[in-house]
Structure formats: structure tokens, C-alpha cells
């Protein structure tokens, strides 16, 4: 990760042919509880009465005094205690800075978060309505992750959002999930084969990061070598070396621009070709940004869901025992992790379309509100009851915010669950005697305020044998069998990018 946690997802000037940056993690939405009521600034919404502050914090355009700097790196002990202190001090809504001088709100209340996300007529995703941008204090091309503006479904509302979302939804609906399960399992087996004989591995770098990248690259109809490159470029975006980060951002631009160009010349039975032929009539630029949204929504989120789940199994004896004894299914385990150890810390900001109050805080029209997933999951109002004495599961763990519902709900929750559950299952089936190779206190957390996980997850296990290749009939039953590798990549933008990547020794 760069020293500026936002730099990694913000490039320079954007060419007309390619995305500038990999968009922010997908923003799950949903609804539950009392409504967030649009109200004059003098009225108090009846919706929020949980832990109100003793004094009303300043409006987002007011004094920066006491604002929490979200751009500072995650402390080594994590942010859980920070959310608790902020809730005690401010109540459900906290004044924050997204970057020096750029002000917003952070919502930590669980029910209010779900309710806010249900009401796009009060809170929009289109960041061009953000007052900081409208009044010239922020350049949307250069601002923080999830507050920029890009021509894809994540940043659209209403009819335009429906137009941009439909090609993704329709493409995913055509996938046979049973056949896709075979594809994911085969990719996972091949990744394990690459290190199973060693008796040691980094489950994040060697496996969890690569699996979702290879899956989505396969859905794009490309050979696996491009998927390995996609994963490598994403990893470099979060690198501490600014020069390598800039190179990776430029490489991501070329990947999506080259992908669209290649599919325009040679369409196939894949997600990108389907989006290009969809009745929504996306432009080539929109297709590139939609493809980048699919990657950003599925890659790092799923990678750290696998990583956090494996870390839970390796460090929590009760959870591991319940899972090993089949008292705790893999899907229930994933829900538990998404509730207690979610890979997503913050959801994309929403823009208030009129003045509202939450608790005793006034949100002005044009203010940005970030949504704290981990903070909302720690809300005392929903942390009722004790963990299940048999399995250790937290009460309410299925009601996490990781996927949500509503206009901006994650369209690929079934796919995400499939990749994560298969990834965890294959590791447990293939790696006997699996254990952490370091003291848990030595694991290094991600520095990002948006993602939660560890940089590496070093493990040891009994060396094993590579898996047998699947039978031809099984391969034919896969959703997307592997595309034959190219002896020499084509002389198009995507092929030149792969040659450049290989030239770096990757």
C-alpha cells in the first residue's frame, strides 16, 4: 500500500479509451429498520436514537475540529476500538476527513445504514452532486476512492443505473452455477498444485488473491496467463513503491481497454462480449468501465474473505472444531466472518439530496456520507445475545452488510459465495495438518481504510501430491473451460501488455 492510502486507486489524466483506476469495492445496499426521514434542519428525525451525542457535531462544511482522518493508515490493532470510541463520543454519525480538507460523514449505526441505502431519493451515488465537487474544492478525477465519478453502474442512479446494471445482471444470470462450481474447483486445485509439494505457502499471495482474479478473467474469455497478470497488477496497485503503483494503474487501464478492443474484433461467449451486444447499447468506454467494476467488486473483496476465513479457522479453536465436525457449514462460516471480520470496512459514500437529520447531527444537501461496515456490525443495538455455545457463531451473523439489497445490491453474491466457499473447501481438503507458520500477532494487517485483512497468511502443512487432471468429460461440463494459452500473444494492446508483464519476469 502506498503511504497515501488513496493514491493507489487514483491515476492521472484519463485517456478516452480506458479506465483511469480500478473502482472501489462494490457497494452493497439494503433496507431494514426505521426510515431516515427527510426533514428541515430544525427538525429531528425520529429514526436515530441510538447513543446520541451530547452536542451536535458541526455540519460537513463546518469546522474541521475533531474530525477523524480516514486517510491515515489503519493502526496495528485495527479500527474496532476506534469505532467504539467514535460512537460513544459522537453517536451514530461522525464528522471525518476523506483527505486533508475534504469533509464528510461516517455512519456507524446498523439500522440507519440499511435504511439510508434503501432510499435513493434521499441519498444518491452520483458523486457529481457532491457539494465539495460542485463548489470546486474537489476534482472528481483525482479524489479519494469511491468518491470519484466513472461511467459505470456504481456511480449512477435511477434509469441510468438500471441501464448500466442490466448488462451485468443479464450476463451473470446466464451462468450455470453447477458448471461454474466445476470451473472454480479446477482453478483452485491448480493453484494448490503449485505449492502443495513444498509444505508451506502464503495463502493470500499464492492462493486467495489469485483465485478470484483467475475466475473473472476466465469469464472474460481470456487465457489464464492474463488472469495471473490481472492479479499481479492489482497487487502492485497496493504496493508501497509509488512508481510501481503508477505502472500498475497504467497496466490496468490497458488491460480493460485491450480487453474491449479484442472482444470487439473477436466476440465470444463471455461476459464482455455479452455486454457489448446487450440492448442497453453500452459504448466501448462504458463496457471497459463495467468490466473494471466487475473486477473491483469481486477480486479483493473475495480474496480477503477467503483469507479472513482461513485466518479464523487457524486461530479460533471452537470455530475450527465446529467446522471440522460438520456442525458449522462453510456457508455459515462465511456469514460469521462477514459479520465479525468483514473484508469490507467502508461502503461507497452517498450524497444527500436534501437536508436531513440523523440523531442530533444535521446532514446538509450535498454532504457525503460514508458507511462504516465494521462499525455498523459492532453496533450494540444489534449485538444482542451471546454466541452459540456449540459453534461459536455470533447472533445475527446472516444479517451482515457485505452484499446488501436494493438498487445497488451486489449482483454477484452467489458467485462470490461460490468462489469463497470453494476456495476454503479445497484448501481444507488438500492441505493436511494445516497450521499457521508464525505467531498470530506477527500477521500484518492491510493499511487500507477500505479493506480489512492481512498482507500475508504464511502456513505450513504436510507436503502432498498434485491433483490428477480432470477427465475430458468433466472438463466439457465446466462453465468456462480454460482457454488455450497463446504461443505468442497477438500484437494488440492486450497482447503487448502481456509481453511487457512477462518481460518484468512475472
Surface-to-core class of residue 128, CB atoms within 10 Å of its CB (0-12 exposed, 13-18 middle, 19+ buried): exposed
Name the phi and psi angles at 219, rounded to 5.
Answer: -65, -25
Query: Which range has the worst mean pLDDT, 228-232, 243-247, 341-345, 451-455?
Result: 243-247
The pLDDT confidence band at residue 26, using thresholds 50, 70 and 90, is: very low
The total number of residues shown for the chain amounts to 506
Asked whether residue 78 carries a pLDDT value surpassing 60, the answer given is yes
Q: b or e along 319-342 (b: 16 or more beta carbons within 10 Å of the residue's beta carbon)?
A: bbebbeeeebebebbbbbbbbbbb
Percent of the chain with pLDDT over 70: 80
The pLDDT confidence band at residue 169, using thresholds 50, 70 and 90, is: very high
Asked whether residue 34 carries a pLDDT value surpassing 50, the answer given is no
Q: What does DSSP assign to residue 123?
A: E
The set of cell numbers assigned to 362 is 444535521
Q: What angle do CA 136, 137, 143 make, to 5 degrees?
A: 110
Which of helix, strand or coil describes residue 101?
A: coil
- Higher-confidence position of 497 and 18: 497
Looking at residue 214, its pLDDT comes to 97
Q: Name 52's Cβ contacts closer than 8 Å, sequence gap at least 6.
A: 91, 92, 359, 360
pLDDT digits (tens, 9 = 90+) for 251-275: 999 999 999 999 999 999 999 999 9
pLDDT digits (tens, 9 = 90+) for 207-224: 999 999 999 999 999 999
Q: Name 388's Cβ contacts closer than 8 Å, sequence gap at least 6.
A: 395
CA 427 to chain centre: 22
In DSSP terms, 255 is beta-bridged to none
The pLDDT confidence band at residue 38, using thresholds 50, 70 and 90, is: very low
Alpha-carbon gap, residue 70 to 237, rounded angstroms: 19
The pLDDT confidence band at residue 476, using thresholds 50, 70 and 90, is: low
Neighbours of 55 (CB within 10 A): 10
Looking at residue 260, its pLDDT comes to 98
Q: What does DSSP assign to residue 205?
A: I
Asked whether residue 421 carries a pLDDT value surpassing 70, the answer given is yes
Q: How many CA atoms lie within 13 A of 178 on its CB side?
A: 3
The pLDDT confidence band at residue 487, using thresholds 50, 70 and 90, is: confident
pLDDT digits (tens, 9 = 90+) for 296-325: 888 999 999 999 999 999 999 999 999 999
Looking at residue 351, its pLDDT comes to 96
- Higher-confidence position of 101 and 254: 254
Residue carrying the nine cell digits 476466465:
218
Asked whether residue 23 carries a pLDDT value surpassing 60, the answer given is no
The set of cell numbers assigned to 431 is 492441505
CA distances from 185 to 211, 212, 332, 423, 430 (A): 10, 12, 20, 8, 12
Asked whether residue 104 carries a pLDDT value surpassing 90, the answer given is yes
Looking at residue 139, its pLDDT comes to 92
User: Residue range 387-397: average pLDDT?
Assistant: 60
Query: Which range has the worst mean pLDDT, 23-27, 98-102, 301-305?
Result: 23-27
Average per-residue pLDDT for the chain: 82
Looking at residue 249, its pLDDT comes to 87
Looking at residue 289, its pLDDT comes to 95
Percent of the chain with pLDDT over 90: 56
User: Residue range 352-367: average pLDDT?
Assistant: 93
The pLDDT confidence band at residue 472, using thresholds 50, 70 and 90, is: low
- Higher-confidence position of 478 and 224: 224
Amino acid at each position: 500500500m502506498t503511504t497515501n492510502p488513496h493514491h493507489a486507486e487514483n491515476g492521472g489524466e484519463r485517456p478516452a479509451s480506458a479506465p483511469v483506476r480500478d473502482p472501489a469495492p462494490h457497494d452493497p445496499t439494503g433496507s431494514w429498520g426505521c426510515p431516515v426521514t427527510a426533514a428541515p434542519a430544525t427538525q429531528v428525525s425520529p429514526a436515530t436514537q441510538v447513543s446520541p451525542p451530547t452536542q451536535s457535531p458541526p455540519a460537513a462544511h463546518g469546522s474541521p475540529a475533531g474530525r477523524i482522518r480516514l486517510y491515515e493508515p489503519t493502526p496495528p490493532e485495527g479500527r474496532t476500538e476506534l469505532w467504539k470510541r467514535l460512537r460513544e463520543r459522537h453517536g451514530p454519525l461522525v464528522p471525518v476527513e476523506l483527505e486533508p480538507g475534504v469533509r464528510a460523514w461516517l455512519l456507524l449505526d446498523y439500522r440507519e445504514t440499511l435504511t439510508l441505502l434503501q432510499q435513493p431519493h434521499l441519498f444518491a451515488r452520483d458523486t457529481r452532486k457532491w457539494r465539495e465537487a460542485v463548489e470546486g474544492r474537489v476534482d472528481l478525477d483525482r479524489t479519494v476512492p469511491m468518491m470519484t465519478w466513472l461511467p459505470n453502474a456504481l456511480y449512477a442512479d435511477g434509469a441510468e443505473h438500471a441501464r448500466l446494471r442490466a448488462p451485468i445482471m443479464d450476463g451473470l444470470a446466464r451462468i450455470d452455477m453447477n458448471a461454474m462450481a466445476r470451473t472454480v474447483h479446477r482453478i483452485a486445485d491448480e493453484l494448490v498444485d503449485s505449492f502443495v509439494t513444498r509444505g508451506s505457502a502464503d495463502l493470500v499471495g499464492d492462493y486467495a488473491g489469485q483465485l478470484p482474479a483467475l475466475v473473472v478473467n476466465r469469464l472474460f474469455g481470456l487465457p489464464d496467463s492474463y488472469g495471473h497478470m490481472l492479479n499481479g497488477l492489482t497487487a502492485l496497485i497496493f504496493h508501497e513503491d509509488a512508481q510501481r503503483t503508477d505502472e500498475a494503474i497504467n497496466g490496468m487501464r490497458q488491460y480493460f481497454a485491450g480487453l474491449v478492443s479484442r472482444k470487439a474484433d473477436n466476440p465470444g461467449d463471455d461476459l464482455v462480449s455479452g455486454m457489448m451486444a446487450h440492448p442497453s447499447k453500452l459504448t466501448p468506454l462504458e463496457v471497459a468501465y463495467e468490466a473494471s467494476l466487475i473486477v473491483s467488486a469481486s477480486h479483493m473483496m473475495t480474496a480477503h474473505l477467503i483469507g479472513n476465513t482461513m485466518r479464523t479457522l487457524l486461530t479460533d479453536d471452537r470455530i475450527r472444531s465446529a467446522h471440522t465436525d460438520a456442525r458449522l457449514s462453510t456457508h455459515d462460516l462465511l456469514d460469521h466472518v462477514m459479520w465479525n471480520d468483514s473484508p469490507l470496512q467502508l461502503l461507497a459514500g452517498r450524497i444527500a439530496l436534501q437536508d436531513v437529520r440523523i440523531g442530533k447531527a444535521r446532514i446538509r444537501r450535498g454532504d457525503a456520507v460514508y458507511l462504516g461496515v465494521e462499525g455498523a456490525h459492532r453496533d450494540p443495538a444489534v449485538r444482542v445475545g451471546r454466541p452459540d455455545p456449540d459453534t461459536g457463531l455470533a447472533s445475527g451473523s446472516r444479517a451482515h452488510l457485505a452484499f446488501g439489497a436494493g438498487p445497488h445490491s451486489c449482483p454477484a453474491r452467489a458467485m462470490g459465495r461460490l468462489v469463497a466457499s470453494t476456495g476454503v473447501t479445497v484448501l481444507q481438503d488438500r492441505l493436511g495438518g494445516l497450521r499457521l507458520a508464525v505467531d498470530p500477532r506477527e500477521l500484518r494487517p492491510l493499511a487500507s481504510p477500505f479493506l480489512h485483512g492481512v498482507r500475508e497468511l504464511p502456513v505450513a502443512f504436510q507436503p502432498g501430491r498434485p491433483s490428477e487432471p480432470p477427465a475430458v468429460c468433466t472438463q466439457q461440463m465446466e462453465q468456462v473451460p480454460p482457454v488455450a494459452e497463446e504461443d505468442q500473444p497477438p500484437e494488440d494492446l492486450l497482447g503487448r501488455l502481456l509481453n511487457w508483464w512477462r518481460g518484468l519476469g512475472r
